[in-house]
C-alpha cells in the first residue's frame, strides 16, 4: 500500500522545501504593539471599481493609523479572467487617490521581503503547502471531468440536496493511494481537493471585526485548492499569503462571508492562527427604474468605475472623504468639527461601520466636493485644476497656460474668505462657468443666443443704461459699497426706483427697480442673468473690454 508521502512525491516531485523552510524565509514581522498589517489584494480583471477603492482605502487607513504596514498583492490565479496591464492600472489609480502601498506589487516592480507579491509567481510556495496537506492525508487528487461534475450537479438538483463535492458525492475522496497513483500514471488530468472534516449539521462561531460573533454552518465541502493549471484557487492562495505575509486583519468584501468557514477550516488544518477578518459592506445604489436598492453595477452606473471621478475632475480628497462617510457613521460629524483637518487625523474604527449595504449618494459626494473646492486657496485650486485639465480638457489647460494670472483671478472671486462662494463641484464644471470672461467665448455666446433681457424693457432704455454705465465707469477707483451706490444713482437717472417697496406699490411709474438696472449690465457683460459678483467681474475685465461688450450688445439689439 502506497503512503501519503509517495502520493505527494509523485504529484510534486520537484518540491523539496517544507513549510518550516518557508517560515524561515518569511520571518514574523517585528512591529509595535497594535500595529496592523493589511493588504489590498485585487485580481487584475479590469478597471478599479469604486467598491475596490473603498476596500483599499479601509485597509490603507487601518495600517496607517496604527503605524503598521499596508501592502499590495496581485491575485492573478484565475488567469482566464486576467486582462493584461490592469494590475499596473490599479496601482496607478490608487496612487491618484494617495493610496500607495508600503510594500508589495507596484505594477512594474516589487518591494518588500515577503514577496513575490504576484500570486502566479508564488506557485512553488503553494505547492510546498499542498504537498504537506497531501502528506497529512488532508488533500487528494480528483479526476472528475467537467461532464461528470455537471452530471453530479443535475443529480443533486433532482434529489434536492445541496450541490457540491462532498461526502458520498465526492467520487474520488475515498480512493486508496495506490488507486490515485495508478490514475496519475495513466495520465488522467486532475485537480487537488481539500479533504474536509466538517459536517453540514455543525455550526462554527466566527468572529468578524465589524459584525461581531457570527454563527455559520461548518464547511463540509471538499473544495478545489489546486487547479490543473498548476495554480491554487483564491481560497488556498489567500490563506498561504496572508499567513506568510503576516496580515493581522483581512479587510475584504462581505461577499466572502459565506466562504469564511472554508478558510477557518483550512487555517486550522494547516496549524496556523487565522488573522482577524473584517467583511466590509458592499456599496449599493437606489435603482432609478425600480427604486430598489441594488449593488453598484459596472454596466448601469458610471460612478461604479473610479475612472469616472477622475474624468469628471472630482477633488480626490472629496472622493476619499465621501467614502469615509460611507465607512464610519461618525466621520461626517468629525469633518464638520474639523473642517480644515486632513483626513489622516480621523481614526477609523470597525465598530462604527454600518452593517446594511452602504448607499452611494451622488448629491452628498457633490456637496462634499463643492465645500472642499470652495475652501481651496487659488493656487491649490489652479494647480489641481491644471493637472486635471492637462489630461481631460485641453482647451481649459490652454487657457491656464496662456494666462495663469487671469485664470487665478477669475476663480478667486469670493474665495479665500470666511464664506467662500461654492461654484464648482468638480473641475469639469469650471470651463463652462468661466468662459464668458474670455473675449472670443463671449462673442460666441452672444451670437448663439439672444441675451436674456427682460422682454418688457424698451431697447432704448437698455442702450441708455449701458452707455451711461460706461461713461460713468468708476470701478477700479472704488470699493464695492461705494460702487454700488453709484449703480443705484445710475438706476435713478434712468427711472429705476431705488426702493423696492415703493416700486412694488407703483410699478407702472418706473422702468423697474435698481436690481433690474444692474441686471441689464450683468447680462450685457456676462451674457447671462447669473454671474459671480459683478463688481469683481468688472474689475477683472477692465473698462476697455466692458465698453467693447456694451457696443457689441447694442449692435445686436
Ligand atoms: N482577489 C480577491 C478579490 O478581488 C480578494 C479578496 C480578499 O481581499 O481577500 O475579491
- pLDDT tens sequence across 321-343: 999 999 999 999 999 999 889 99
Q: Ligand 1 mean position to 42 CA, how many Å?
A: 5
Residue 50 CA to residue 307 CA, distance in Å, equals: 9
Rg (CA), the chain: 33
Question: Which of ligand 1's atoms lies nearest the C-alpha of 242?
Answer: 9
Same domain, residue pair 333 and 476: no
CATH of the domain at 530: 1.10.10
Q: What is the residue with the minimal CA distance to atom 6 of ligand 1?
A: 252
Where is the domain boundary, 253, 280, 307? 280
Q: What is the pTM of this model?
A: 0.90
Residue 50 domain flag:
no
Q: Ligand 1 mean position to 233 CA, how many Å?
A: 11
Residue 40 domain flag:
no
Ligand 1: residue of 39, 43, 255, 262 to mutate (most ligand atoms within 8 A of CB) is 43
Ligand 1: residue of 236, 240, 253 to mutate (most ligand atoms within 8 A of CB) is 253
549 and 525 Cβ atoms separated by less than 8 Å: yes
* Mean pLDDT calculated for residue range 25-33: 96
With a cut of 80, say whether residue 357 has pLDDT above it.
Answer: no
Q: Which residues contact 461 (CB under 8 A, 6 or more apart)?
A: 494, 495, 511
Residue 36 domain flag:
no
Residue 212 CA to residue 352 CA, distance in Å, equals: 12
Same domain, residue pair 144 and 228: yes
Residue 62 domain flag:
no
Alpha helices, H only, 254-357: 260-270, 306-312, 316-327, 331-337
Same domain, residue pair 332 and 390: no
Residue 152 domain flag:
yes
Element (H, E) at 13: none
Q: Ligand 1 mean position to 255 CA, how many Å?
A: 10
Domain that holds residue 412: 378-432
CATH of the domain at 365: 1.10.1160
Least confident segment among 237-251, 345-359, 430-444, 478-492: 345-359
Same domain, residue pair 343 and 310: yes
Q: Ligand 1 mean position to 253 CA, how many Å?
A: 8
Q: Ligand 1 mean position to 39 CA, how many Å?
A: 10
Residue 481 CA to residue 500 CA, distance in Å, equals: 18
pLDDT digits (tens, 9 = 90+) for 109-133: 999 999 999 999 999 999 999 999 9
Question: Which of ligand 1's atoms lies nearest the C-alpha of 252?
Answer: 8
pLDDT digits (tens, 9 = 90+) for 367-390: 999 999 999 999 999 999 999 999
Same domain, residue pair 417 and 302: no
Same domain, residue pair 519 and 370: no
Same domain, residue pair 175 and 242: yes
Burial of 20 (0-12, 13-18, 19+ CB in 10 A): exposed
Same domain, residue pair 364 and 330: yes
Same domain, residue pair 165 and 265: yes
- Cβ count near 372 (within 10 Å): 22
Q: Ligand 1 mean position to 286 CA, how many Å?
A: 25
- Per-chain mean pLDDT for the chain: 95
Burial of 258 (0-12, 13-18, 19+ CB in 10 A): exposed
Same domain, residue pair 129 and 261: yes
Same domain, residue pair 456 and 529: yes
pLDDT value of residue 70: 98
Residue 413 domain flag:
yes
Spell out which residues line ligand 1, taking CB within 6 angstroms.
41-43, 75, 234, 238, 250, 252
Same domain, residue pair 457 and 534: yes
Per DSSP (E only), the strands in 13-61 are 37-40
Residue 170 CA to residue 164 CA, distance in Å, equals: 8
List the one residue out of 369, 375, 373, 394 whose CA is nearest residue 384. Answer: 373
Where is the domain boundary, 432, 458, 474? 432
Q: Ligand 1 mean position to 41 CA, how many Å?
A: 5
Burial of 145 (0-12, 13-18, 19+ CB in 10 A): exposed
- Cβ count near 340 (within 10 Å): 5
Q: What is the residue with the minimal CA distance to atom 10 of ligand 1?
A: 42
Residue 51 domain flag:
no
* Mean pLDDT calculated for residue range 252-281: 97
Q: What is the residue with the minimal CA distance to atom 7 of ligand 1?
A: 252
CATH of the domain at 242: 3.40.50.620
Residue 310 CA to residue 331 CA, distance in Å, equals: 23
* Mean pLDDT calculated for residue range 101-113: 97
Ligand 1: residue of 37, 38, 41 to mutate (most ligand atoms within 8 A of CB) is 41
Residue 526 CA to residue 532 CA, distance in Å, equals: 9
pLDDT digits (tens, 9 = 90+) for 426-475: 999 999 999 999 999 999 999 998 999 999 999 999 999 999 999 999 99
HEC assignment per residue over 99-111: CCCCEEECCCCEE
* Mean pLDDT calculated for residue range 65-80: 96
Residue 41 domain flag:
no
Total domain count for the chain? 4
Residue 142 CA to residue 189 CA, distance in Å, equals: 9
Amino acid at each position: 500500500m502506497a503512503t501519503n508521502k509517495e502520493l505527494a512525491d509523485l504529484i510534486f516531485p520537484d518540491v523539496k522545501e517544507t513549510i518550516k523552510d518557508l517560515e524561515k524565509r518569511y520571518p514574523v514581522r517585528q512591529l509595535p504593539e497594535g500595529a496592523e498589517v493589511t493588504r489590498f489584494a485585487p485580481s487584475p480583471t479590469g478597471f478599479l471599481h469604486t467598491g475596490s477603492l473603498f476596500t483599499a482605502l479601509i485597509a490603507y487607513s487601518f495600517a496607517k493609523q496604527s503605524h503598521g504596514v499596508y501592502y499590495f498583492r496581485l491575485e492573478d490565479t484565475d488567469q482566464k479572467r486576467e486582462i493584461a496591464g490592469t494590475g499596473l492600472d490599479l496601482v496607478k489609480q490608487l496612487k491618484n487617490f494617495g493610496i500607495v502601498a508600503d510594500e508589495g506589487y507596484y505594477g512594474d516592480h516589487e518591494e518588500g521581503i515577503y514577496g513575490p507579491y504576484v500570486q502566479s509567481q508564488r506557485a512553488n510556495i503553494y505547492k510546498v503547502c499542498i504537498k504537506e496537506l497531501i502528506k497529512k492525508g488532508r488533500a487528494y487528487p480528483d479526476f472528475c471531468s467537467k461532464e461528470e461534475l455537471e452530471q453530479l450537479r443535475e443529480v443533486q438538483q433532482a434529489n434536492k440536496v445541496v450541490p457540491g463535492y462532498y461526502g458520498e458525492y465526492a467520487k474520488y475522496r475515498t480512493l486508496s493511494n495506490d488507486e490515485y497513483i495508478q490514475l496519475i500514471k495513466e495520465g488522467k488530468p486532475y485537480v487537488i481537493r481539500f479533504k474536509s472534516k466538517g459536517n453540514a449539521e455543525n455550526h462554527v462561531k466566527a468572529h468578524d471585526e465589524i459584525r461581531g460573533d457570527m454563527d455559520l454552518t461548518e464547511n463540509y465541502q471538499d473544495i478545489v485548492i489546486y487547479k490543473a493549471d498548476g495554480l491554487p484557487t483564491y481560497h488556498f492562495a489567500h490563506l498561504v499569503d496572508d499567513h506568510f505575509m503576516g496580515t493581522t486583519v483581512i479587510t475584504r468584501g462581505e461577499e466572502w462571508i459565506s466562504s469564511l468557514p472554508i478558510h477557518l477550516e483550512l487555517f486550522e488544518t494547516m496549524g496556523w492562527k487565522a488573522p482577524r477578518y473584517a467583511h466590509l459592506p458592499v456599496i449599493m445604489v437606489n435603482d432609478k427604474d425600480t427604486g430598489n436598492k441594488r449593488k453598484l453595477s459596472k454596466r448601469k452606473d458610471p460612478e461604479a468605475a473610479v475612472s469616472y471621478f477622475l474624468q469628471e475632475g472630482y477633488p480626490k480628497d472629496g472622493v476619499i472623504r465621501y467614502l469615509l462617510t460611507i465607512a464610519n457613521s461618525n466621520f461626517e460629524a468629525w469633518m464638520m468639527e474639523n473642517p480644515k483637518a486632513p483626513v489622516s487625523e480621523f481614526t477609523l474604527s470597525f465598530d462604527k461601520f454600518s452593517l446594511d449595504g452602504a448607499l452611494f449618494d451622488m448629491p452628498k459626494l457633490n456637496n462634499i466636493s463643492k465645500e472642499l473646492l470652495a475652501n481651496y486657496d487659488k493656487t491649490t485650486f489652479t494647480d489641481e485644476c491644471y493637472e486635471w485639465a492637462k489630461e481631460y480638457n485641453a482647451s481649459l489647460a490652454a487657457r491656464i497656460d496662456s494666462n495663469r494670472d487671469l485664470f487665478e483671478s477669475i476663480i478667486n472671486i469670493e474665495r479665500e474668505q470666511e464664506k467662500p462662494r461654492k461654484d464648482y463641484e468638480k473641475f469639469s464644471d469650471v470651463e463652462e462657468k468661466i468662459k464668458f470672461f474670455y473675449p472670443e467665448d463671449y462673442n460666441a455666446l452672444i451670437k448663439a443666443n439672444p441675451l436674456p433681457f427682460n422682454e418688457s424693457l424698451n431697447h432704448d432704455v437698455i442702450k441708455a443704461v449701458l452707455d451711461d454705465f460706461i461713461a460713468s465707469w468708476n470701478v477700479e477707483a472704488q470699493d464695492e459699497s461705494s460702487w454700488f451706490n453709484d449703480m443705484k444713482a445710475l438706476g435713478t437717472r434712468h427711472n429705476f426706483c431705488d426702493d423696492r417697496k415703493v416700486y412694488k406699490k407703483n410699478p407702472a411709474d418706473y422702468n423697474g427697480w435698481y436690481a433690474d438696472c444692474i441686471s441689464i449690465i450683468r447680462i450685457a457683460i456676462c451674457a447671462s442673468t447669473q454671474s459671480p459678483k459683478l463688481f469683481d467681474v468688472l474689475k477683472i475685465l477692465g473698462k476697455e473690454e466692458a465698453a467693447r461688450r456694451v457696443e457689441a450688445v447694442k449692435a445686436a439689439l
